[in-house]
Amino acid sequence: MSEQVTGAQSLVLSLEAAGVTDVFGIPGGAILPLYDPLMDSRQIRHILVRHEQGAGHAAEGYAAASGRVGVCMATSGPGATNLVTPIADAHMDSVPMVAVTGQVASASIGTDAFQEADIRGITMPITKHNFLVTNPDDIPQAIAEAFHLASTGRPGPVLVDVSKDALQAMTSFDWPPTINLPGYHPVTRPHAKQVREAARLMVEARQPVLYVGGGVIRANASAALLRLAELTGIPVVTTLMARGAFPDTHALQLGMPGMHGTVAAVGALQKADLLVTLGARFDDRVTGKLSSFAPNATVIHADIDPAEIGKNRFAEVPIVGDLNEIIPELIAAIQAEHAAGRQGDYEGWWSQLSHMRETYPLGYDLSEEGLSPQYVIERLGVISGENSIYTAGVGQHQMWAAQFIKYNQPRTWINSGGLGTMGFAVPAAMGAKVAMPDKTVWAVDGDGCFQMTNQELVTCTINEIPIKVALINNSSLGMVRQWQTLFYNERYSNTDLHSHRLPDFVKLADAYGCHGLRCETPDEVDATIEKAMSLNDAPVVIDFVVHKDAMVWPMVAAGMSNDEIMVARSMAPEWGSDD
């Protein structure tokens, strides 16, 4: 029997029925009717953030750490537009998220009413789908479809915009509604013929690479990937979004490819005769100059999103489907090849790769002028360990965290890959900690990123969300400074943040109710990290005052070929030869 409720009550009941337990948001005029019944929910914990951008990134961190749909809320106008950046971020990185926004009363829509913005129109290019609900009877349907869309197929953000009068009017609540999405039927089962063809190419190839993207993590296919790699003996590269999809300590792992990838990973892709592409999208940060990327490789491309296949690189063998179904079927097809006496011979290939790996290992110089940021991050990974979750902002610290922390499990590395959003780390860490309260969660942040969203530390303190922040304070916009050093004749225009002087991050942490620590010398690093690990009653911020001229190596300059990878300012001599 239908229950008579307000539209706002129907929305709360719908969220509860969808399994929501945590929401990040801020109330305001248009969405205020929703906040009254939300107060009575015994299932949903609402976390009051300090900025809507923080709510969106927290929902992303929650989803990325747990695999569940993250939820954020905002009011109309500026509240909703403050969610645009995290929505775009979630869209680029395939993060399942539902954003609920209030809208002005339906009679006022289109009149430039107070705090009105066409958030549906604004976010149409950066959502999987979005809804404008002006009839309270439509609320359960919209919520059910939003969660279905966000979490199936290629995950992504969905926005539900609800007018104020729809929240205030009376309606009936019925659950579950029938999902009615004609035209939305994601293909999950792969085409068997394509899988068999992929298996044939894999055993015939002499220089294959498993090119692994974040889709493997989103599909919960990491265990299947491990079986495939060990069955075949094919080397694995994991993109920035796929760190943790395959263990870093595994002998088959070559590391991260791309602009700041390992020489072995970049070189393997360039020299490959077959790319087995799993949940990756041939992003420009991986391919470099596209026309020169992997010039001799045949491409197998498996992805849940058919729009990605062939978008940037032609795929000789396209496979559309869920990787958690594709990879097991590929394993079975490979086993059939082996049973028929056809097995890949990659001995010569591994000889080349091992030479590259040994000649150009990831490394760094200990600075004589201050604390080396790479050393700090490396020690953080060792001391906190592989069971911790690490989020990052964007820039040098992000790349060093991707390079020097060992990721052996999926969902332990969370960052803004596609959009490259500064300010991501702290709110994403907050969301990850809410989702996984028993995990240690570190936000590895830069002083530039940190000053964009550090107000969410107040949210963490008040709500007892004890994240830890490793602040890599080089007093500058480090990655931009690196480019100015290399390509702009050391003309440092507007990259000095003066963060070694202002603000005092230890005092700032104290003002936010956090533990503030500072570390300036190498001999203090371990003890400072261990001290932070022992403090779990409130958030912790460590101000690591590091050398400002440290650089991220290797590096492929934007628009250049991966053949022109730079290793500490020198060109890798490996390229152009078959050594």
Start-end of H helices in 470-521: 478-487, 505-511
Give the whole-angstrom CA distance, residue 481 versus residue 267: 27
Contacts of 345 (CB under 8 A, 6+ apart): 206
Give the whole-angstrom CA distance, residue 287 versus residue 292: 8
Given 202, 256, 479, 551, the catalytic residue: 479
Using the CB atoms, write b or e for 11-32: b if 16+ within 10 Å: bbbbbebbebebbbbbbbebbe
Q: Are 449 and 359 in contact (CB under 8 A)?
A: no
Give the whole-angstrom CA distance, residue 516 versus residue 371: 18
Q: Are 99 and 157 in contact (CB under 8 A)?
A: yes
3-state DSSP assignment of residue 528: helix
Query: Is residue 289 annotated as part of the catalytic site, yes or no?
Result: no
Query: Is residue 114 annotated as part of the catalytic site, yes or no?
Result: yes
DSSP 101-166: EEE--GGGTTTT-TT---HHHHHGGGSSEEEEE-SGGGHHHHHHHHHHHHHSSS--EEEEEEEHHH
Q: Which helix (H) or strand (E) segment is 434 a member of? A: helix 425-435
For residue 529, the number of C-alpha atoms closer than 13 Å in the C-beta half-sphere is 25
Burial (CB count <10 Å: 0-12, 13-18, 19+), residue 502: exposed
Query: Is residue 92 annotated as part of the catalytic site, yes or no?
Result: no
∠ at Cα 219 (218, 220), nearest 5°? 95
Q: Which helix (H) or strand (E) segment is 348 a member of? A: helix 347-359
DSSP 413-424: EEE--SS--TT-
Given 4, 114, 335, 487, the catalytic residue: 114
For residue 505, the number of C-alpha atoms closer than 13 Å in the C-beta half-sphere is 27
Of residues 327, 308, 313, 315, the one with CA closest to residue 232: 327
Place of tokens 């009051």: 48
- The residues facing 100 across adjacent strands are 73, 160
Q: Are 244 and 217 in contact (CB under 8 A)?
A: yes
- The residues facing 371 across adjacent strands are 546
Given 73, 141, 164, 259, the catalytic residue: 164
Q: Which residues are catalytic?
A: 52, 114-115, 164, 479
